[in-house]
Chains A and B, each alone.
Chain A
Amino acid sequence: MTNASQSVRDFVAPHVRVLPKSGIRAFFDIVASRKDVISLGIGEPDFQTPWHIRARTIEAIESGATRYTSNLGSPELRQALAAYTERAFHVSYDWTSEIVVTVGVSEAFDIAFRATLSPGDEVLYHEPAFVAYAPLMRTTHAVPVPVATRRADDFRVRVSDLEKKITPRTRALFLNYPNNPTGAALRREDVEALAAFAIRHDLLVYTDEVYAELTYEGDRVSIAAMPGMKDRTIFLNGFSKAWSMTGFRLGYVCAPPALADAMMKIHQYGMMCASSISQAAGLEALRAGDDDIAGMRDSYRQRRNYIVASLNAMGLDCFTPPGAFYVFPSITSTGLSSDEFALRLLNEESVACVPGTAFGACGEGHIRCTYATGMESLKKAMERMSAFVTRLRA
């Protein structure tokens, strides 16, 4: 005889049952039980959404813009997105047929995978990686194939490593630069080599550009803009990081018409449309939000300089990441594993960082620290971490 919970669990599809829970989530449960923790674990901007964007959102409600929009997203927003991708990424999308506004970039991944992957298809992606990619691929019965990146390459994915994982079933390549969790960014020559690789093996490319606006140094080059790539690229982006709009859940996906149309079918049945209120906010961000990004980016850059200098000063090797708002220092010199380091740092100094292994096996030996937090907290966290590391080495 089975009890109630047993019988409920039996209904869960086998491929979902085996999905791992986010490694971050497990750590969060521990952190949530503690008081006075300085958190460097938050992958979310600490800035308030710029006031003019919030004000425009309120205005949208007041003026009654509270109904369904087109499944694809409001025409005004899609036109603004087409203009934005043109000026920011030098890639032209037709707003009538190549852009779908989604509920955050998260939904954009989901519909992109579901629209393009069949059971058994293999997708190459670089690790360490954001926790959602591989599990979402698995929900389509596709096979995510991790490709390790290394500190020696500043965590830029190498074509030679990708080549080793190619099989007849390889269908797509997933890219996320600037990267969560390493902060790595690609150089133009990297992107050119990856484009040639994708064309050589006839691969579809997904590119998650959600941190693109937080690029501090070097070119911001999207693979979608490379010659011959637009027709085989699904470009994913959102408003959360650039304009500090995480709660608005607003993203978008750009792709050739046939792919956009396939994604739209799933989107219209699953989501209908993104929130009309959030779309009004997104339009305001695109029309008048360039200065907001510039101001926040300057602050992030200064904090990044501070945290990198502080980590290196305490002997935790850390390259200066050109983008996003994370650093991924090596903690191997302390002799602890990532999990041990993060847990002991939390227990002994009340500083929360995320173990590198939460982002894939090759994250071992590292921790992820975010600097999307105020300077005062950052300074305290670095002082405490320095004391902790000094004690470990004593």
Chain B
Amino acid sequence: MEALLTLLKQNARESDDTLAKMLNTTADDVHARIAALEASGVIRAYQAVVNTDIIADHNDVCAVIELRIRPEREGGFDRIAQRIGRFPQVVSMFLMSGGYDLLLFVTGRNLQEVAGFVSGTLAPIDGVLATATHFMLKTYKDHGVLMTGEDNDQRLTICP
């Protein structure tokens, strides 16, 4: 992967000036390259990686849902996947190999809301053959970021 993308994946808020120094180029060049990556759709969005477990008033629940679906004669899994992906409750979705077809990450304000979405919205969709819902209990690592531990620098302040 291009070094600029690697750096942005680590910290999307890094300034063009800092990125330029790190990559031994100019801020204008960095600006232009980012614009091109955005225009071509390589960069789709910028988001913060948030540890929701430690937000005091955060009660949202997240579920991982396995879906078995029936592929269509023309378009395979794509049309039904597009349809399911439009629901705002679906945060991420992947086509998988193995025992099921689609893997969904779904959020809701509480357990009932997610359960209602699965049983009332997802399951009745024509082409959905089976669902299996797993509720997420705790986040240990997200987007490559560990949520606990290993952050404290325990090195001596000065050493040879």
Interface of A toward B, CB cutoff 8 Å:
22, 24, 27-28, 31-32, 37, 39, 41-44, 46, 48, 130-132, 180, 298, 302-303, 305-306, 309-310, 352, 354, 375, 379
Contacts and interface: CB of A to CB of B under 8 A. Distances in A.
Given A302-B23, A306-B18, A44 B157 contact: no
Contacts of A27: 158
Contacts of A28: 156-159
Given A28-B158, A43-B159, A309 B150 contact: no
Contacts of B21: 305-306, 309-310
A22 B157 contact: no
Contact of B159 (A24, A309, A379): A24
B157 A132 contact: no
A31 B158 contact: yes
B148 interface: no
B98 interface: no
Contacts of A354: 158
B22 interface: yes
8 contacts: A24-B159, A28-B156, A42-B156, A302-B23, A305-B21, A309-B24, A352-B158, A375-B14
A132 B155 CA distance: 20
Contacts, number: 61
Among B11, B156, B157, B158, chain A packs the most CB atoms within 10 A around the CB of B158
Interface residues of B, number: 18
Interface in B110-160: 150, 153, 155-160
A37 B7 CA distance: 26
B3 interface: yes
Contact of B18 (A32, A130, A131, A379): A379
B50 to A, nearest CB: 18
Nearest to A305: B24
A305 B26 CA distance: 12
Given A42-B155, A44-B155, A24 B22 contact: no
B3 A298 contact: yes
Given A305-B23, A306-B22, A375-B18, A46 B11 contact: no
Interface string B7-20: 10001001000100
A379 B21 CA distance: 11
A32 B14 CA distance: 31
Contact of A42 (B6, B11, B150, B159): B159
Nearest to A130: B160
Contacts of B18: 306, 375, 379
Nearest to A29: B158
A72 B86 CA distance: 64
A27 B159 CA distance: 10
A326 to B, nearest CB: 11
Contacts of B22: 302-303, 305-306, 375
A43 B158 CA distance: 7
A37 B159 CA distance: 15
A241 B20 CA distance: 27
B4 to A, nearest CB: 10
Given A302-B22, A302-B23, A42 B3 contact: no
B156 A44 contact: yes
A132 B160 contact: yes
Given A42-B156, A42-B157, A302-B7, 15 more contacts: A27-B158, A28-B156, A39-B157, A39-B158, A41-B157, A46-B155, A302-B22, A305-B21, A305-B23, A305-B24, A306-B18, A306-B22, A375-B11, A375-B22, A379-B18
Contacts of A352: 157-158
Contacts of B158: 24, 27-28, 31-32, 39, 41-42, 352, 354
A41 B23 CA distance: 24
Given A42-B155, A48-B150, A305-B23, A22 B7 contact: no
A46 B153 contact: yes
Contacts of A48: 150
A48 B159 CA distance: 17
A227 B159 CA distance: 36
A43 B159 CA distance: 6
Contacts of B14: 375
A306 B15 CA distance: 12
Among B24, B150, B157, chain A packs the most CB atoms within 10 A around the CB of B157
A361 B119 CA distance: 77
